[in-house]
Structure formats: C-alpha cells, structure tokens
Amino acid sequence: MSKKNVDDYLMEGIHGKRRPNESERAYFLGTLRERIVIALTKGQVMSDKSLAKLEEAMKEHPEATLLINGTISYRFLKAEKDLANAYNIAYTVITNEEVETDIGAVLTYDFAIDQESIFVEDEVVSNQPEPVQKGSFLDKIKRFFSPNP
C-alpha cells in the first residue's frame, strides 16, 4: 500500500473520498447494479409503458427506494412519484448534469440483492398500417367516376 502524498490529500479534500465503481454509480443514478430491483430507461419513464411492472416491483419490495432522473421533465415523473407515494416508498430525484445516462428511474436497496434481470424489456407492438391498394392510373380514374366509391 502506497503512502498518500500532498496531492492525494488535496484531491480528497476537494472531491471527497474515492468510491469504487464511480462510473457504474453515475450511470445508475448513484447506486450500484447489484442493489437494483428494477431499472427503467428515460423513454419508458416518459411514455409510462412500464408503470405496471414498476408497481409490481414496489409491491414486492416495500422497503426499497426509488431514484428518479431529474433531467426528465416533471410532467413525465408525476406518475412515478404518485405510485411511490401510494406504496409509501421514499423517492429521490437525482440531477447530475455532468453525467449522461439513459436511465430514467431505479428501484433500489442500500445493500446488494444481485437480481438477475433488472431492465424492463419493451413490448413490441405490431402497428403496421394496412397495405395501400395499388393500381394503375386508369383504375384510379375509374374509381373516381364510379357511383359507388
């Protein structure tokens, strides 16, 4: 173990003690992946697509804490905050302008739980438009002048 020099003491005084996995903490709104019950992306938070899964996780883990990304507009966070209040779950809004993350909300503990899958998968909905009828120019003119469209 190396001795601390003056620069180390100055950096520690300015920025605080170094913590392990700082990049992981920054990405997951200040917590570690091993502590997370469920993580929602910004898109899932803004569209409220995963509210049912978040509510289910809150029912199963009433002692957890909800961390919310503060860079998301308040109007998109209202449903998550109301849900946390309904289940008496403490929530904190984390705003860190220095770090770019696509995480919108995280339900987490203060200790490791090592949950296998923490991300909510987006459900693929097939909203394909009906095929457009193609025809020749002459067919279009016939349909235009026909009495029954």
Greatest CA span in the chain, whole angstroms?
Answer: 94
| pTM recorded for the entire structure | 0.70
> How much is the average pLDDT of 79-105?
91
User: Residues 8-37: what's their mean pLDDT?
Assistant: 82
| Domain annotation for the chain: domains and CATH numbers | 30-118 (3.30.1330.30)
For residue 133, the model assigns a pLDDT of 55
Distances (CA, A) of 140 to 88, 132, 134, 137: 62, 13, 9, 5
pLDDT (average), residues 106-129: 77
Q: In this model, does residue 69 exceed pLDDT 90?
A: yes
Instruction: Name the residue with tokens 């019950």.
Output: 37
Residue with tokens 């009433």: 62
Q: Which residue has the tokens 């990304």?
A: 69
Going edge to edge, which strands form the sheet with 36-41? 36-41, 103-108, 65-69, 91-94
